[in-house]
């Protein structure tokens, strides 16, 4: 059998060495590129990338590419799989920076250091209305939030019930993480409530004979009555006077809440007969819960209520939304008569205006002209 010449073996080894070296250099260069060459937001501004709950790895990769976060999806995806990110996708809002490498970008998406989102809520009447508002920028669903609230109510030792739990939520704008859980969100709001109720505020509440929850309930009534914010401390003082004298509050907004018709513009005698603990005409003291979510201004108005002798109020006859206040029934009836007279005149003017606007009158006017 003929032996291969030494020269032939040497050439084969040389060729193998050259090919191997070339491949090694090529793969090393590619490896360096996919790890350390910018591929995230190349020459673009810093942006946040949001991953919704339940999003798959494939969808994340597609969103990153389609929304212009990465230039090369293949290299990013290859390295992401090597780092096992395809098995560890989690929701959140992440800060990706200009000219990030794949390694750096994947590290951000795999980490827990997220960009907070803002949750804002106000102008709420019912807990059912709160869920969709407070969970809007999070992965929590309104139903999950409601269930977490129910759990909190069952387990708390601070006097929160299903009727007054709305008083725990101080309307404001808060920062939370996008992937916060429902129970964490409720707990965060409880922490904010505790921060709000400082020792100074607690002492002021004690001085007027109310608990923080009761202050919130009264503040919700003041908020509904005070069309003019500057009147809020006066109205708060009026209701405190009634509470101290054990006089029914007789607050019309509580009847609207009891009836459940928030489009109601005018409370009639029939509404005063509704059988409800929120009927402050038939029940003395405060209702069992707030009738809306009062802002900080109205809570402070109760805590810093104006001291006076008023126990009656009536809308002013100029329909400005302001009130005439009285210390006795005689003056109150006088104020009420002025308002009723002005209201009757307005109603008569309205009827005359509608009558003048009928098609027959319009046709007659055109004929005379």
Residues 104 and 124 in one domain: no
d(C-alpha 168, C-alpha 248), whole Å: 25
Residue 14 resides in a domain: no
Residue 322 resides in a domain: no
Q: What are phi and psi of 70, to 5 degrees?
A: -125, 150
Residues 149 and 230 in one domain: no
Q: Which of 260, 285, 310 is the last residue of a domain?
A: 310
Residue 350 resides in a domain: no
Residue 159 resides in a domain: yes
Q: Which of 66, 85, 110 is the last residue of a domain?
A: 110
How large is the average pLDDT for residues 268-275? 84
pLDDT of 95-132, one tens digit each? 999 999 999 999 999 998 899 999 999 989 999 999 99
Q: What is the mean pLDDT of the chain?
A: 89
Residue 365 resides in a domain: no
Q: Is 332 helix (H, G, I), strand (E, B) or coil?
A: helix
Residue 175 resides in a domain: yes
Residues 144 and 235 in one domain: no
Find the CATH number of the domain harbouring 96: 3.30.1490
Residues 296 and 220 in one domain: yes
Q: How many domains does one find in the chain?
A: 3
Report how far apart, in Å, the C-alpha atoms of 316 and of each of 332, 334, 341, 342 are.
Answer: 11, 11, 11, 9
Reading the block at residue 88, the tokens are 């560890």
Residues 232 and 187 in one domain: no
Question: Residue 223 in contact with residue 166, Cβ under 8 Å?
Answer: no
pLDDT of 139-188, one tens digit each? 999 999 999 999 999 999 999 999 999 999 999 999 999 999 999 999 99
The domain containing residue 220 runs over which residues?
A: 211-310
Q: Which of 310, 330, 347 is the last residue of a domain?
A: 310
Higher pLDDT, 7 or 152: 152
């Amino acid at each position: 059998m003929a032996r291969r010449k030494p020269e032939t073996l040497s050439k084969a080894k040389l060729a193998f060495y050259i090919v191997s070296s070339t491949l090694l250099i090529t793969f090393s260069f590619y490896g360096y590129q996919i790890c350390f060459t910018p591929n995230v937001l190349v020459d673009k501004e810093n942006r946040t990338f949001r991953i919704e709950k339940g999003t798959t790895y494939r969808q994340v990769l597609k969103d990153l590419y389609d929304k212009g976060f990465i230039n090369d999806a293949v290299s990013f995806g290859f390295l992401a799989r090597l780092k096992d990110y395809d098995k560890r996708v989690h929701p959140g809002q992440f800060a990706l920076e200009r000219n990030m490498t794949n390694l750096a970008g994947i590290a951000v998406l795999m980490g827990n250091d997220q960009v907070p989102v803002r949750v804002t809520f106000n102008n709420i009447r019912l807990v059912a209305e709160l869920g969709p508002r407070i969970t809007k920028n999070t992965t929590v669903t309104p139903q999950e939030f409601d269930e977490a609230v129910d759990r909190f109510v069952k387990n708390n030792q601070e006097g929160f019930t299903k009727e007054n739990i709305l008083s725990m939520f101080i309307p404001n704008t808060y920062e939370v993480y996008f992937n916060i859980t429902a129970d964490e969100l409720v707990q965060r709001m409880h922490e904010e409530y505790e921060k709000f109720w400082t020792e100074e505020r607690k002492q002021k509440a004690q001085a007027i004979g109310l608990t923080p929850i009761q202050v919130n309930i009264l503040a919700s009534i003041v908020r509904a009555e005070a069309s003019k914010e500057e009147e809020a401390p006066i109205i708060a003082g009026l209701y405190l006077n009634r509470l101290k004298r054990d006089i029914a509050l007789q607050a019309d907004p509580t009847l609207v809440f009891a009836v459940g018709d928030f489009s109601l513009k005018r409370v009639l005698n029939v509404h005063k007969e509704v059988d409800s603990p929120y009927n402050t005409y038939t029940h003395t003291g405060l209702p069992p819960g707030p009738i809306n979510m009062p802002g900080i201004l109205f809570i402070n108005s109760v805590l810093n209520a104006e001291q006076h002798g008023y126990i009656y109020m009536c809308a002013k006859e100029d329909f400005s939304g302001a009130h005439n206040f009285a210390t006795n029934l005689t003056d109150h009836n006088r104020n009420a008569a002025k308002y009723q007279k002005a209201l009757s005149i307005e109603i008569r003017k309205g009827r005359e205006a509608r009558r003048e606007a009928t098609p027959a009158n319009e046709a007659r006017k055109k004929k005379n002209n």
